[in-house]
Amino acid sequence: MSTIETPTLTLPEFKNEPYTDFSQPGNRLSMEQALAKVHDEFGREYELLIAGERVKTGDLLKSVNPSCPREIVALHHKANAELARRAVESAYEYFPEWADVPARTRVEMLIRAAGIIRSRKHEFDAWLVYEAGKTWPEAEADVAEAIDFCEYYGRQMLRFARPDPLVQLPGEKDDLVYLPLGVGVVIPPWNFPLAIMAGMTVAALVTGNTVVIKPSSDTPAIAAKFAEVLLEAGFPPRSFSLMVGSGAEVGDLIVTHSKTRFISFTGSRDVGLRINELAAKPQKGQVWIKRVIAEMGGKDAIVVDREADLNSAVEGVALSAFGYQGQKCSACSRAIVDEAVYDEFVEKLKQRVSSMKVGPSDKPDYYMGPVINDRARKSILEYIEVGKREGRLLTGGAPGEGEGYFIQPTVIADVSPKARIFQEEIFGPVLAVTKARDFDEALEFANDSEYGLTGAVYSQNPAKVDQARRRFHVGNLYINRKCTGAMVGAHPFGGFNMSGTDSKAGGPDYLLQFLQAKSIAEKV
- Kindly list the catalytic residues: 295, 329
Handedness of CA 260, 264, 265, 270 (dihedral sign): positive
CB count in 10 Å sphere of residue 441: 17
- Residue 19, SS3 per DSSP: coil
Q: Would you say 201 and 213 are in contact if contact means Cβ atoms under 8 Å apart?
A: yes
Angle of helix 103-119 relative to helix 121-132, nearest 10 degrees, comes to 70
Q: State phi, psi for 461 to the nearest 5 degrees.
A: -95, 110
Give the gyration radius of the chain's Cα atoms: 23
Dist. CA 204–CA 511, nearest whole Å: 8
> Whole-angstrom Cα distance, residue 468 to residue 303?
10
Q: How far, in Å, CA of 293 to CA of 199, rounded?
A: 12
Mapping DSSP to helix (H, G, I), strand (E, B) and coil, where does residue 241 land? Answer: strand
Q: Could you give the angle at the alpha carbon of 41 between the alpha carbons of 35 and 44, nearest 5°?
A: 150
Picking from 331, 379, 38, the residue whose alpha carbon sits closest to that of residue 192 is 331
Beta bridge partners of 294: 265
**What are the backbone dihedrals phi and psi of residue 340, each rounded to the nearest 5 degrees, phi first?**
-65, -25
Compute CA 343 distance to the chain's CA centroid, rounded to the nearest angstrom: 35
Q: How many CA atoms lie within 13 A of 299 on its CB side?
A: 22
Q: Which amino acid makes up residue 419?
A: A
Instruction: Return the HEC string of 327-362.
Output: CCCCCEEEEEEECCCHHHHHHHHHHHHHCCCECCCC
